[in-house]
Amino acid sequence: MQRAGFFVYAAHYVCHTQCMMYTESPVLELAGVSKGYGGEPVLRGLDLSLGRGVHALLGPNGAGKTTLINILTTLVPHDSGTVRVLGLDPATQAGRIRHRISVTGQFAAVDEVLTGRENLVLMGRLLGLRPAAARARADELLERFEIATAGGRRVATYSGGMRRRLDLAISLIWPPEVLFLDEPTTGLDTRSRIALWDQIRTLAAEGTSVFLTTQYLEEADQLAEQITVLDGGRIVAQGSAGHLKSLVGGAFLRVLDGSGTVVQEVATDGSAADLARVSAEVAATAPGLRVELRQPTLDDAFLHLTGHRAHPTEDSADRPDDNAPHGLEVAR
Ligand SMILES: Nc1ncnc2c1ncn2[C@@H]1O[C@H](COP(=O)(O)OP(=O)(O)O)[C@@H](O)[C@H]1O
Ligand SMILES: [Mg+2]
């Protein structure tokens, strides 16, 4: 019993010190961070504090995601506010930050003329590895990212998924404490996307903190413990996927016709009374209709928070700027 007691105590102690460690030094910290281009505000006073783990910055085209990645990775300066990456200031300690992070940009940054292996060896050498070590690391990463058989082929012949995996492999030549991924799966087919998700999950499980941007709600839902919703340069919500969904409240009542096709969706507050009321209205409309419940998705949450949907293909310029809700509105 005493032994068990000791272990419980030890476990508490370890947890306590680790929790203290994590809360005392956030991986990323922003306070009132603003950035503009040519007098146009792009980021408008961001406050954010993130610990270890996988975080998704979710927002439509033009929301300011890449701008924030560029600031956090020391590529562009911010205008005002405070930025800390692993406790370091990008304005004065950029070199130290760069040693501890890695970034995979929105567009694959690999050399098309070189083979996959040559790209990796070249980067390894640029990062200071000796030739033999650079070759060994290249082979290890080619294997890990399932591009070993294509390692000797020119990148120009690679599929989009292979390029992305190579890009990710390159950013891991020197294992970073924090990996920044700017829209890692945009433009990829479903199979490549799922393969990349698996790779990101493995990295996270090995202890690398990941900060990724995405326009895909499903991607944020799949990968991230914490999601920050960015819209028009402002943080409009933050929390787990479950928390964001819960902000929508209620549940949707789907109306199905005899063949099982959804003909209508009605937002309810989720209470028995509201569901009974809507069901009664549906029953009065036409005989033979059926209903089923649908819980809010992250898509509903995004619409609820921003007033528009997050369509990956839509340009921000085409985005309706009014407050008129599109599709469903949640009854309160
Ligand atoms: N270097 C730049 N010069 C001028 N405007 C820029 C620059 N980079 C980004 N912007 C503008 O900032 C806004 C946000 O862009 P960006 O951060 O790329 O958004 P996202 O990555 O979310 O699509 C856009 O309106 C874009 O045109
Ligand atoms: Mg971008």
CA of 93 to the centre of ligand 1 (A): 25
Question: Is the CB of residue 319 below 6 angstroms from any atom belonging to ligand 1?
Answer: no
Ligand 1 atom with the shortest distance to the CA of 230: 22
Question: Is the CB of residue 268 below 6 angstroms from any atom belonging to ligand 1?
Answer: no
Give dist(CA 123, CA 186) in Å, integer: 24
Question: Is the CB of residue 187 below 6 angstroms from any atom belonging to ligand 1?
Answer: no
Residue 323, class by beta-carbon neighbours within 10 Å (0-12 exposed, 13-18 middle, 19+ buried)? exposed
Give dist(CA 224, CA 222) in Å, integer: 6
Query: What SS3 class is residue 200?
Result: helix
Question: Is the CB of residue 64 below 6 angstroms from any atom belonging to ligand 1?
Answer: yes
Ligand 1 atom with the shortest distance to the CA of 67: 17
- Enclosing H/E stretch for 290: strand 290-294
**Range list of H helices, 25-155:** 65-72, 94-100, 116-126, 131-144
Which residue from 101, 83, 35, 100 is spatially nearest to 233, judged by alpha carbons?
35
Which residue from 97, 83, 86, 89 is spatially nearest to 31, judged by alpha carbons?
83
What is the predicted pLDDT for the residue at 311? 65
**Mode of pairing for the β-strands spanning 262-268 and 251-256:** antiparallel
Question: Is the CB of residue 310 below 6 angstroms from any atom belonging to ligand 1?
Answer: no
Q: Which ligand is nearest to the CA of 316?
A: 1
Distances (CA, A) of 290 to 32, 125, 203, 266, 276: 50, 65, 45, 13, 13
Question: Is the CB of residue 184 below 6 angstroms from any atom belonging to ligand 1?
Answer: no
Domains of the chain in sequence order = 25-245 (3.40.50.300), 247-318 (no CATH)
What is the predicted pLDDT for the residue at 249? 81
What is the predicted pLDDT for the residue at 298? 82
Question: Is the CB of residue 42 below 6 angstroms from any atom belonging to ligand 1?
Answer: yes
Ligand 1 atom with the shortest distance to the CA of 182: 21
Question: Is the CB of residue 186 below 6 angstroms from any atom belonging to ligand 1?
Answer: no
Ligand 1, atom 5: nearest CA belongs to which residue? 37
Give dist(CA 209, CA 207) in Å, integer: 6
Which residue from 296, 271, 295, 293 is spatially nearest to 282, judged by alpha carbons?
293
Ligand 1, atom 7: nearest CA belongs to which residue? 37
Per-residue pLDDT of the chain (332 residues; tens, 9 = 90+): 444 444 444 444 444 444 444 445 799 999 999 999 999 999 999 999 999 999 999 998 899 999 999 999 999 999 999 999 999 999 999 999 999 999 988 776 788 999 999 999 999 999 899 999 999 999 999 999 999 999 999 999 999 889 989 999 999 998 899 999 999 998 888 888 998 899 999 999 999 999 999 988 889 999 999 999 999 999 999 999 889 888 888 889 999 998 999 999 998 988 899 999 999 999 998 888 999 999 888 888 888 888 887 765 444 333 333 333 333 232 33
CA of 310 to the centre of ligand 2 (A): 14
Residue 294, C-beta contacts closer than 8 angstroms, at least 6 positions apart: 251, 252, 253, 254, 265
Q: What's this model's pTM, rounded to 2 decimal places?
A: 0.81
